[in-house]
Amino acid sequence: MRVKLTLEYDGTAFRGWAAQPGERTVEAVLREALGDVFPRWDSLAVAGRTDTGVHALANVASVEVDGGPQVERIAEALNTSLPDDAAVVDAAAAERAFHARFSAQSRSYRYRIWRSRIRSPFEHRRSWWFPRPLDVPTLDAAARVLVGEHDFRAFTPTETQHDVFVRVIESARWVEDGDVLAFEITADSFLRHMVRALVGTMVDGIDVAPLLAGRPRAEAGQTAPPWGLYLVEVAY
């Protein structure tokens, strides 16, 4: 049976999604839980390979399982084996052709900035503490420029495994909520560090428009820290 798993996790103590020898990763703890629950499983795939420190509210994985609990009990069973900072929030039977990564139509991320002059222990590792003034209308105007099809190589590390740098942005905006300023973006897919580099560049006050024609990484701004970033939705 092919199963679609929706996961949320606090990325603080994980070295990202992808399994790495000797490192604690989300994939590693999920693999361990799958082994505890199912006699046989295979073909684990994920929609978003989040980096070290990045959180997820609704990342999606697909896996082929045999034996084990009925589908309505899979989430509960896996959660008995997963650590406290990761959980399967939903499990559902999927079509045989479903693939968490390749079937995805879009992914949505949110980047949170804590703007208060006073740091918050509750926002520590949940947002980027940035107590200096930010021009929100200018930031939002920059976000609107991102919508459409562009070459984003200025917003990913120079040393990269990507061959294609063009991505299609469906929507991008900044949202104010008290002391939190959030950047929300939806695209077909993302380059490594792309959202964080976009945030850092906009916060640095650099004009993003000329960079969308495939300019080098050195012309863009800083890469915002990972702990403000959340994968919030994968659409199929």
Q: Please give the positions annotated as active site.
A: 51
Helix axes 71-81, 26-37, angle to 10 degrees: 120
Identify whether the C-beta of residue 167 lies closer than 8 Å to the C-beta of residue 150.
yes
Q: Give the count of beta carbons closer than 10 Å to the beta carbon of residue 117.
A: 8
Reading the block at residue 30, the tokens are 């999920």
174 Cβ contact list (under 8 Å, min separation 6): 136, 139, 140, 143, 181, 182, 183, 184
Residue for token pair 């929030």: 89
Reading the block at residue 187, the tokens are 């695209």
Reading the block at residue 37, the tokens are 């629950």
Identify whether the C-beta of residue 194 lies closer than 8 Å to the C-beta of residue 223.
no
Dihedral over alpha carbons 164, 169, 170, 173 (to 10 degrees) = 160
Helix axes 194-203, 136-146, angle to 10 degrees: 140
Hey, CA dihedral for 43, 10, 55, 175, is it positive or negative?
positive
